[in-house]
Structure 1
Amino acid sequence: MIGGAVPTHLAPTTSPISYEEATRSSELLGRISRVFDQRIVGQHELRSALVTSLLAGGHVLLESVPGLAKTLSAHTLASAVGGSFHRIQCTPDLMPNDILGTQIYNYATGEFSTQLGPVHANMVLVDEINRSSAKTQAAMLEAMEERQTSVGGEVYRLPDPFMVLATQNPIEEEGTYVLPEAQMDRFLMKVTLTYPGPDDEVGILERVSAGSFDRPLTAEPISTMEALLLQRLTAKVYVDTAIKQYIVALVNTTRGGGPRPVAGLGQHVRVGASPRGSIALMRVAQAIALQEGRSYVIPDDVKQMRYAVLRHRIVRTYDALANDVPPESLIDAVFAAVPSP
């Protein structure tokens, strides 16, 4: 059994992760952390969300005002994994073929050849995704869900690991297209970033003055095969039936049901989380447990990133939007109503 004391009834009789595997995962996670230390100042929630999403095999939507290291963090994660990296700058005239790929006619041979688009990479940064049209957003999100593209009638598998990091600026309105809730649901997490603290901002200025951000990485990144190993170990983390029932109860409570329905929730929530929300809570909890050095999930793992997992899956009513009721307060009410196992 890995880690410290936890509720014993949630632990398996035999650890699904060996001591050697636990040691290996700890070493790989340490290398990822050192790469982030060299490039990112502060933003611990963002770093944790990106690594957790990588382990869980999901995608992340990053939302904040400009200048809060969204793009830099995506570049840093790609560097930490050592895989291929492509950046897609979204604009209103961007077409699906610009992302997925297209067929090019060769006049010399009289044949078509396929040129794959930038989505074919281990790490894909989709910058300002809300600037692309609904058709282009759908093409991108289909690749995220199916892990494949279709060009000229041929199916092309996306590489493993494959992860999309999309950014959007909430204060921009001109030339933007809001992502529908059904498409937002494809993201494992939505991370909302805030301004850095004064100490962190001073640290940023000091690194800029010293030219630290322009220096080559000295920390050793992991390989794509090692990233896949971390994903396999994450999937092996034990989730007790009581934890699964706890997750289902939480998600059902967002829909107005559950073992202890929240009074008045229907006034603020029009649509609760889908079964994807249940899956996301479990996968994220497994990734957190592995990072904590445990081979099984405890309730605190489910709670730790509840905002990032659920804030984009809860559709608020007009009254809630008009009264500026934050989704985080609704999520807190749900978690407070459902007892932990």
Structure 2
Amino acid sequence: MNEQAHGATDSADLMERLLYEVKRVVVGQDHFLERVLVAMLAGGHLLVEGVPGLAKTLTVNTLARTMSGSFKRIQFTPDLLPADLVGTRMYNQGTGEFSTVRGPVFANLLLADEINRAPAKVQSALLEVMQEKQVTIAGETHRVPTPFLVMATQNPIETEGTYPLPEAQVDRFMMKVLVGYPSEEEEVVIVNRVTGPRISVSAIATPEHLADLQEECRRVYVDPSLVQYAVRVVAATRKPAGYGLEDMARYIAFGASPRATIGLVEGARALAFLRGRNYAVPEDVIDLVPDVLRHRLSLSYEAMSDGATADQLITRILQALPVPERPLESHVRAAVR
């Protein structure tokens, strides 16, 4: 095994220990936890949809403690101002000078709770920090800490008093994850843990270490056939008829942007890295397709009237496109060298 393969294995062991520490507090939600780690390694952001009480805040807070990073939570409301998010300049009467007060976005992990309840100005302020990893306060640019992950939640039940997210902002989220209810067995464990002795978690890694892991993750090999497959999957959302899906064209008003293709490739790298490999396989891409695409498809009124969902259309696309062959390890070693 070469040095890069050893590095991938050691890093996967570290991520496994970090995941184990989080699972001491959080019960279930394996899919959600895995996607949070994928987003962290790939440097992306998460849009999470689920009813209240499913441990979304607890998960991110616990993860921040295991990596000794900073965690901030913002409850988005209609009266929230951009300054409440990014910070502002304040006048000090004692010194007669202005000073910069930084907002809660200056954290490693930022939870934007019920993001669709904030007005457009606040969402625009968040858009800059998500894309540029920086904020502008009174003409001065300030970088946010590294690594930086925004996890925004939406409540699928209530729509009254909400502001639909602009398409440009939705596209900035690498993945949209649906969080469901726990099983009966998991709920029993949840109740026992919450009502029992408090569990403390240990710091497994530092933010600086996570930044190094992000750089290491970018060296994971992705075969050109997998990149081409990701391109075809995304292209099929724009022109379904070109891929033998003529009847789907009336359901999709607008397909996914190139950011979706980038998200699939970067996410496949992170997922392979998380699973202890220094190369991606087709399963890594396929597993991420629903989470990367579901929020990027603009469905037509006909799709809504027929009850067609984005996930159903994505499943049909995956069934219609041939999956590339798994890359041979000998080819991977040659390509890595």
Give the TM-score range, shorter chain. over 0.9
Query: How far off is 1:27 after superposition?
Result: 2.5
* Residue identity opposite 1:61 in structure 2: L
The 1:257/1:329 distance shift into structure 2, 3 A limit, reads closer
**Matching of residue 156 in structure 1 with residue 139 in structure 2:** no
Query: How far off is 1:231 after superposition?
Result: 0.8
Unaligned regions of 5+ residues in structure 1, if any? 2-14
Deviations 1:220-275 (A, max 9, x none): 42111111122112110111111111111111011015862412111111111100
Distance of 1:260 and 1:116 partners within structure 2? 50
**Matching of residue 108 in structure 1 with residue 94 in structure 2:** yes
Name 1:124's counterpart in structure 2.
110
After TM superposition, where is structure 1 displaced by more than 4 Å over at least 4 residues in a row?
none
Judge conservation of contact 1:61–1:167 (CA < 8 Å) in 2. yes
- Size of the aligned set, in residue pairs, is 324
Give the structure-1-normalised TM-score: 0.91
Distance of 2:246 and 2:97 partners within structure 1? 65
**Matching of residue 312 in structure 1 with residue 295 in structure 2:** yes
The 1:105/1:280 distance shift into structure 2, 3 A limit, reads same
**1:12-91 to 2 correspondences below 5 Å:** 18-91=4-77
Name 1:330's counterpart in structure 2.
313
Give the structure-2-normalised TM-score: 0.92
Query: How far off is 1:137 after superposition?
Result: 0.9
Name 2:151's counterpart in structure 1.
165
The 1:261/1:139 distance shift into structure 2, 3 A limit, reads farther
* Residue identity opposite 1:223 in structure 2: T
Distance of 2:217 and 2:5 partners within structure 1? 14
Name 1:12's counterpart in structure 2.
none
Judge conservation of contact 2:240–2:249 (CA < 8 Å) in 1. no
Secondary structure at the counterpart of residue 232 of structure 1: helix
Q: Report the identity percentage.
A: 45
Distance of 2:53 and 2:269 partners within structure 1? 31
Query: How far off is 1:296 after superposition?
Result: 1.1
Judge conservation of contact 1:250–1:258 (CA < 8 Å) in 2. no
Name 1:8's counterpart in structure 2.
none
Judge conservation of contact 1:188–1:309 (CA < 8 Å) in 2. yes
Distance of 1:53 and 1:118 partners within structure 2? 20
